[in-house]
Amino acid sequence: MDFKTLLVTRDSCTLSWKKPMSDGGSRIIAYVLEVLNGEDKWKELLRSKNMQYSAKDLVEGREYKYRVKATNDSGDGPVKELTVLAKDLNVSPSCDLRELPNLNYIAKEGSTVRLKIPISGKPVPVVTWKKGEDENLTDTGRVCVESTAVNTTLLIRDCQRTDASKYTITLRNAAGTKESTIFVRVVGKPGIPAAPIKFKEVTADGATLKWGVPKDDGGSEITNYILEKRDSITNMWVTVSSTVDTNTFRVTGLHEGTEYIFRVSAENKYGIGEGLKSDPMVAKHPF
């Protein structure tokens, strides 16, 4: 008969046993569970068909000896004994990262991040978080860590691009230390295109513009650029094209002698970034 503990704490234990391999040719009527009371007196705790028992109000640090046997119409079967020490078992800390594919968490710029990681361990682990290679994370109001016995949560309000980093979670208790690393990516609108906007092949009615790609693509591929112009007469921004697919574009339809300022913005699937303005340019023939 298999006789074991399912759970042991400082003041309780749960015992479990299985049906014997042989019932002796007669149906089992009951299982009898006893505990040693004193030097040699056994006290009956259970006489039932149940195969589990929870003992409560144990004294921390004390050893308890239990025994169980099956009984049928022919009598009692062999006795199985088990000694239990009433104490909280130390369990090494661990964290469950199964919900993070490739250990990556993707957050949108400006959003509130609540990255909740299930943890376990006995005693309850002490949790620390570290960003990059820096010191431990502290509560700044915008960024903080909240931990319970079963979860640790990284909270980031108004998530910024600078929050993107490697984060290290360290769990410590009496049974050991567990360190895990995750990566937070922050995606959003692309940055401003790289200055300056250069003019080539300027004529009385057109010009070719060229600019640099943004240093920051927002964590997502740039899909297009939006090019606008403003003339010195109306002083209003007008879209030249919202589907520019490279960082160069030929503008036509300008008016000779008119001064223009151009503005270009990059776009990705998260939105349109800040626009880069050109220096003023006058539409005229080069000679």
What does DSSP say about strands 176-187 and 194-200: parallel, antiparallel, or unpaired?
Answer: unpaired
Confidence of residue 38 (pLDDT cuts 50, 70, 90): confident
Q: Which residues, 6+ apart, have CB-to-CB distance to 41 below 8 Å? A: none
Q: DSSP states of 228-247 as a string?
A: EEEETTT--EEEEEEEE-SS
Q: What pLDDT shows up at residue 223?
A: 98
pLDDT at 287 over 80: no
Summary mean pLDDT of the chain: 95
Q: What percentage of the chain exceeds 90 in pLDDT? A: 90
Q: What pLDDT shows up at residue 190?
A: 96
194-282 belongs to CATH 2.60.40.10: yes
91-187 sits in which CATH class? mainly beta
Confidence of residue 155 (pLDDT cuts 50, 70, 90): very high
pLDDT at 88 over 90: no
CATH superfamily, domain at 3-85: Immunoglobulins (2.60.40.10)
Q: Which residues of 116-129 are buried (b: 16+ CB within 10 A; e: fewer)?
A: ebebbbbeebebbb
Extract the tokens encoding 148: 């319970």
Q: What pLDDT shows up at residue 240?
A: 98
What does DSSP say about strands 281-282 and 259-268: parallel, antiparallel, or unpaired?
Answer: antiparallel
Q: Where are the domains of the chain?
A: 3-85, 91-187, 194-282
Residues in a beta bridge with 149: none
| CB 127 within 8 Å of CB 170 | yes
Residues in a beta bridge with 227: 241, 264
Q: Whole-model pTM above 0.75?
A: no
